[in-house]
Amino acid sequence: MLKIYNTLAREKQIFTPIIAGKVSMYVCGMTVYDYCHLGHARVMVVFDMVSRWLRASGYDVNYVRNITDIDDKIIKRANENGETIGQLTQRFIDAMDEDSEKLGVIRPNLEPRATEYVDGMIQMIAALIEKGFAYVAANGDVFYSVNNFEGYGKLSGKSLEDLRAGERVEVDTHKKDPMDFVLWKSVKPNEPSWASPWGNGRPGWHIECSAMSSHLLGEHFDIHGGGQDLQFPHHENEIAQSEAAHSHDGKPCQMVNYWMHNGFVRVDDEKMSKSLGNFFTIRTVLEKYDAEVVRFFILRAHYRSPLNYSDKHLDDAKLALTRLYTALRGHVVTDIAIDWQHPQAARFKEAMDDDFNTPEAMAVLFDLANEVNKTKAVEAASLLKSLAGVLGLLQRDANDFLQGSPIVASLNTTLEPLTGGLGSDSYTELMIKKRTQAKQEKNFAESDRIRKELADAGIILEDSPQGTTWRRA
């Protein structure tokens, strides 16, 4: 029985879908004006893991992750670059797709773009005005009136009173209440705009998710996810918009049953964020680390815990993943359905059902690796690979990982790994043959010299009764 920590309730709750056997899930995706950083990687990987586990549990999952392709920063960046907004956003959507594919993220069922749903947003804003939850200000902007929505603050646990006390931003004089937020911004020079009953303009940020989620998943759906920083104000405002717009006879309509928020990626114990400038893009990290190592690193922590990024931690993750692949090496495993009655599989399931406890699930993987190493049983190896597959890990051939192309940036430039020189696959194979011969002749000095030479080039040799194998450090 799956339990999910529901931000709305501030506790783990048994997951019951609205429609038996089906799950509708919406996750706030990226604003595409720059490359994705590791914080974005975490959202993508975490909710990919969630959708995989829901599917492995037998649910028919409809997973929607939106793309924000119209926003202040996008407009600004496009202007700076002298390119159109469409060019800019498409470029970074393509980059995002590349990054997420490398990280083993299965594409969501739908990836709606905000600009494709402006009509829906306008309709929703009109409904909000009609029902008395929004008003047109003197400057032509349309604002949401937080005072008229009784449940405002229920997700973030904030009261309007507290929020006003903590007000740090210059108050927009067009607002009736400082906490009111914009639904529609009237057009400004050199900005894209759409026609609306309130004049030309463009949507505010929050309204897009309300419009897209209700259009694609309905007024009431199962799971809504995103980074912890979206809890307030973004998700709070989504609830206010959706539940008010979909209210019937003055009664709000519940928007989402389970709200999920993943923890931040940190650098030196500080949140990784664009504003702090302490972020690492996914592609920068992938220059140095295998994408599966990054995925492993992310899933190694519980999704709600903070995750500290550093080279040391990635190195550690790499060694740990190497242990798992080493256990799988040499086994020809066939894809078989997981027997969830198996003690280790049951333990894995229990961990995942407990609010997606991937660290505990991974401990099962390591215990299985130990069993594989001890017994050489192909059944154990198959189970290891299958269970890891549920997390999107360990699906490559073991040698592809262990002998994987050296990461160029970390290579000594005098080596020629790709052209047959020291450090290359072919040179390694050649030297292994020479060394095997030397060993047969009991010429251990030569054999050790070769091993040392390769070791210095990052190639580790491992002798066994079946011959010598190699891997990259």
Site for RNA in 365-424 (CB under 7 A): 366-367, 369-370, 373-374
Q: Which stretch binds RNA (CB under 7 A): 190-198, 251-259, 363-371, 377-385?
A: 363-371
Near RNA by CB under 7 A: residue from 55, 102, 154, 158: 158
Whole-angstrom CA distances from 387 to 335, 345, 365 are 11, 7, 8
Q: Report the site for RNA in 137-156 (rule: CB under 7 A).
A: 156
Q: How far is the CB of 113 from RNA (least distance, A)?
A: 14
Per-residue contact flags (x/-) with RNA for residues 13 to 52, judged by CB under 7 A: ---------------xxxx-----x-xx-xx---------
Task: Provide the token pair at 423.
Answer: 């450090």
Per-residue contact flags (x/-) with RNA for residues 74 to 113, judged by CB under 7 A: ----------------------------------------
Task: Provide the token pair at 87.
Answer: 């060019």
Quote the CA–CA distance of 398 and 66 in Å, as a whole number. Answer: 35
Task: Provide the token pair at 27.
Answer: 């996750």
Q: How far is the CB of 267 from RNA (least distance, A)?
A: 9
The C-alpha angle with vertex 362 and arms to 342 and 403, in degrees rounded to 5, equals 110
Task: Provide the token pair at 117.
Answer: 């749903």
Residue among 355, 302, 352 at smallest CA distance from 11: 355
Q: How far is the CB of 413 from RNA (least distance, A)?
A: 26
Q: Which stretch binds RNA (CB under 7 A): 129-137, 143-151, 162-170, 185-193?
A: 162-170
Which residues, 6+ apart, have CB-to-CB distance to 231 below 8 Å?
7, 155, 156, 259, 261
Near RNA by CB under 7 A: residue from 323, 410, 430, 434: 323
Smaller CB separation from RNA, 130 or 188: 188
Smaller CB separation from RNA, 17 or 447: 447
Q: Report the site for RNA in 243-302 (rule: CB under 7 A).
A: 262-266, 269-275, 300-302
Q: Report the site for RNA in 175-204 (rule: CB under 7 A).
A: 181
Which residues, 6+ apart, have CB-to-CB distance to 315 below 8 Å?
none
Q: Which amino acid is at 119?
A: D
Residue among 181, 197, 200 at smallest CA distance from 189: 200
Q: Which stretch binds RNA (CB under 7 A): 119-127, 129-137, 222-230, 384-392?
A: 222-230
Cα 214 from chain centroid?
23
Near RNA by CB under 7 A: residue from 167, 339, 416, 456: 167
Smaller CB separation from RNA, 222 or 355: 355
Smaller CB separation from RNA, 174 or 439: 439
Smaller CB separation from RNA, 22 or 177: 177
Whole-angstrom CA distances from 107 to 29, 38, 64, 284, 468 are 12, 18, 9, 22, 40
Q: Report the site for RNA in 301-320 (rule: CB under 7 A).
A: 301-302, 305-308, 312-313, 316, 319-320
Quote the CA–CA distance of 257 and 88 in Å, as a whole number. Answer: 35
Quote the CA–CA distance of 98 and 286 in Å, as a whole number. Answer: 11
Cα 93 from chain centroid?
15
Contact status: 453 vs RNA (CB under 7 A): no
Smaller CB separation from RNA, 13 or 156: 156
Task: Kindly give the pairing relationship between strand 142-144 and strand 181-186.
Answer: antiparallel
Quote the CA–CA distance of 95 and 73 in Å, as a whole number. Answer: 18
Smaller CB separation from RNA, 9 or 336: 9
* Partners of 248 in beta bridges: 251
Near RNA by CB under 7 A: residue from 196, 386, 424, 447: 447
Smaller CB separation from RNA, 376 or 420: 376
**202: enclosing H helix or E strand:** strand 201-203
